[in-house]
Structure 1
């Protein structure tokens, strides 16, 4: 009987070629054999159909994102990071004084006045939003005014006393004095006895009935004071006599836990006088604003905008 002739099967052969060509190590001889096999039109058609089908099954390759979009997203990220840092800086600016007070040994809240008797018999009268640290263990009693204002009644027990105010030291030789910290400068008022301010290589002796202001860079000349006005805050009064308007506004706003933002810088230098109630700072502010024809606007409960 004549031998059976196997019929060529292009689809099966295309599948075999497809598998062999994708195996590692396919050489030039194999590729020439494949090229010869593709000379038959049916073989070439079968392989082309298989290749097209394979392309449909493959997952689509990710399209590269335009560089412009990447640049925009990078710029947006930088802007958001800058805004975040600004927000952190603003929060630190607003709440750092409060954190300082809470970390101090003795402190008062905004609008609060407090008297504390120390172990050596001395008494501290703390004004609103004030903070102090006290160390009475050594041969020299050490006090540190962190914020605000304090009226100090010293009990003499044979030991020296020093009050630290930022980088300045105040050596106390009297029994009654006031020390205050303000945004512009620090201040010492002596009501009884004497005290010396030492700042770097400079120093000033201040006697009863005198005051001196000082900063990081200098100590100003000593001035006479009106004792009646100096400690009126202890009784809930702010007695102002020809003082800058900004100073009075900051004092009254501080009793509400706010900071002043003056829209007109010239307004800050107006001179005002009066008796303002520190126990009712909001009413005092409204009265002062009416007299000076000012507009007051509260912002986020932290700022008092004055126009």
Structure 2
């Protein structure tokens, strides 16, 4: 670059400064005290191609070094990270919440490195389909992050957060990895699987594990809860989870397992805390429960994904709860 060009672009960040900012972002987002505003600001920063490249490089470095990277970022760099303008936030395609799982008990968010670098992500309220030439289809729910690769004849999906439905044609084997689990379709049989991966209730920051659920909507699949564990055969109409009731195959309600593909949220005697978690994936801002007692209240109903506030009001009325709207999308139920 000539001297004249340098004079015309005096504020262009250097590669070193971008690398430093990327490292600082990762340290902040994995600190356990990051907020949704931090995730939004990072998403806006990553909207620039050079910033995104630096962020991915820093993410790969984090995989290898972890705490060493945290210790190598001066406090003044972490505090000086840029904040987005209102225009940048509006243009970020609602990604910020898509890579974040909200930690129980407050507004802090917890991110895992895989979510930061996922090649396929959906934002708040966004549902997307990925169609492959061989007929394989991935339907991604809101706030989902995954990686997809093909190894030989087999497609390998690594689900880091959120939920998806995998439709695998006959003679196209698919593996779905989520947390420590692995689910394999049978190569000789078409199958449709609904898989979810949510940060566990007792997860803490970067090191939290996830609760995984697999529902076999059609065909068959083999589920492994961990390396070396004997696979469990799942047949159509059955599912399994790694959280509460882990390892027990049970019947599923196909109408509710992936109702989001039809634009619906279907709850049948569902704890209010789980209902709020679902609604938070489809509306900007945050819904919070102010009463520990309210979290265990049960909800039954069918609601439209494109009208989450209408669902919130209906649920609050049915349960005798009061809504406190505090601005910026924040709603407290009490």
Bin for the TM-score computed over the shorter chain: 0.5 to 0.7
Distance 1:221 1:149, change over 3 A: same
Aligned residues: 222
Matches within 5 A, 1:202-281: 203-215=231-243, 219-281=246-308
User: Taking CA–CA contacts closer than 8 Å with sequence separation of 6 or more, which of the two structures ends up with the larger relative contact order?
Assistant: 2
Distance 1:203 1:295, change over 3 A: farther
Q: CA deviation at 1:103?
A: 2.8
Matches within 5 A, 1:122-137: 122-137=136-151
For 2:220 and 2:329, how far apart are their aligned partners in 1? 38
Checking the alignment, whether the CA contact within 8 Å between 2:161 and 2:199 is kept in structure 1 is no
Distance 1:104 1:299, change over 3 A: farther
Q: CA deviation at 1:154?
A: 0.6
Q: 1:106 maps to what in 2?
A: 120
Which residues of structure 1 form unaligned runs of 5+? 1-84
- Secondary structure at the aligned position of 2:293 is classed as helix
What is the root-mean-square deviation of aligned Cα atoms in Å? 3.0
The normalised TM-score by structure 2 is 0.59
For 1:87 and 1:168, how far apart are their aligned partners in 2? 23
Which residues of structure 2 form unaligned runs of 5+? 1-27, 40-95, 101-110, 201-210
- Secondary structure at the aligned position of 2:313 is classed as helix
1:291 aligns with 2:304: no
Checking the alignment, whether the CA contact within 8 Å between 1:123 and 1:152 is kept in structure 2 is yes
- Secondary structure at the aligned position of 1:119 is classed as coil
Matches within 5 A, 1:144-163: 144-157=158-171, 159-163=172-176
- Rg larger for: 1
The normalised TM-score by structure 1 is 0.64
Distance 1:92 1:156, change over 3 A: farther
Q: 1:32 maps to what in 2?
A: none
For 2:294 and 2:35, how far apart are their aligned partners in 1? 28
Distance 1:107 1:129, change over 3 A: same
Q: 2:24 maps to what in 1?
A: none
